Amino acid sequence: MSLAFLFPGQGSQAVGMGSDLAEAFAPAREVFQEVDEALGQNLSRLMRDGPEDLLTLTENAQPALMAVSVAVMRTLEREFGVGVDRAAFVAGHSLGEYSALAAAGAISVADTARLLKLRGQAMQRAVPVGEGAMASLIGPKSDVALAEAAAAAGSAVGVCVVANDNNQGNVVISGAKAAVDLAIEKAKELGARAILLNVSAPFHCPLMQPAADEMAEALAGAVILAPRTPLVANVTARPTLDPEAIRRMLVEQVTGRVRWRESMLWLVEDGGVTRFAEAGAGKVLSGMAKRIAPDAEAVPLNAPADLEAFARSL
């Protein structure tokens, strides 16, 4: 049985995430302390106690989600003897790619926390609040072709692109507010439902270029090693162990499409993966995995009991 670890992205955060791990396991507490020290911020208290609006801020949500994911992985390794190298591949959704790289030893936890804090701040700075938007196109007819047609219609009045190809029935568009509004109307004409997302900026579109430039500068000075397990990257939907390719693709993914459906299909069809374990907050990626690859097993690893059961099952 071939295994891949998945790492969730923004939107999976919730007040209280990671608290039971920290209470149960010293390795989880160590990760949260490392992140707090790296940021000079009591992020672990914000994760535990809220308030929710502060935790949801991009600059806090991104390092917080990474902290929970790495806490899961470090606990699995130290307490249950299950290291990241038990998996054939790792993959993370958007910011989750950083979590995957930290878990696989490619970037230190402290550096990852600082990079994600900057990434969140840079994304927020790139586009003034209210000028950009994202929308999820959902329903049986919602696929990449429909989303691209809707985005093309929106592009008549501004930037509008497909941002996240999550799975059949769930594709996200992103861009200037007026363009996304127009794209929503087109998507509805084509038979999809459309929901404006409650996000602070239009992620994964060309409007994020200022943030990509900031990340290029920051990543140029970051130490990136070959991961212990190959990373299936968002922008290529293919595996890599090359630190310089990873450095480049982390910049590209700020403005580029998250090719999640393609990544999952590659993992199953070419990578031979039959089991997915979602390390971190929530279970969004486990749900996507079951829709994309219904014959594969997908389990979320959130609570102490999840980790124990998963380790016993290997």
- Residues annotated catalytic, as ranges: 94, 204
- What is the rounded distance in angstroms from the CA atom of residue 184 to the CA atom of residue 164? 15
User: Hey, which residues does 137 pair with through a beta bridge?
Assistant: 171, 194
Question: Can you tell me whether residue 243 is helix, strand or coil?
Answer: helix
- What is the rounded distance in angstroms from the CA atom of residue 303 to the CA atom of residue 308? 9
Closest of 218, 17, 7 to residue 111, by C-alpha:
218
Q: How many CB atoms lie within 10 A of CB 269?
A: 10
Backbone φ and ψ for 139, nearest 5 degrees, come out as 115, 165
Quick one: 245 exposed, middle or buried, by C-beta within 10 A (0-12, 13-18, 19+)?
middle
- What is the rounded distance in angstroms from the CA atom of residue 48 to the CA atom of residue 17? 7
User: Hey, which residues does 174 pair with through a beta bridge?
Assistant: 134, 161
Closest of 64, 58, 70 to residue 14, by C-alpha:
64
End-to-end CA distance of the chain: 9
Residue 68, both tokens? 């929970």
Residue 44, both tokens? 């672990």
**Amino acid letter, 34:** E
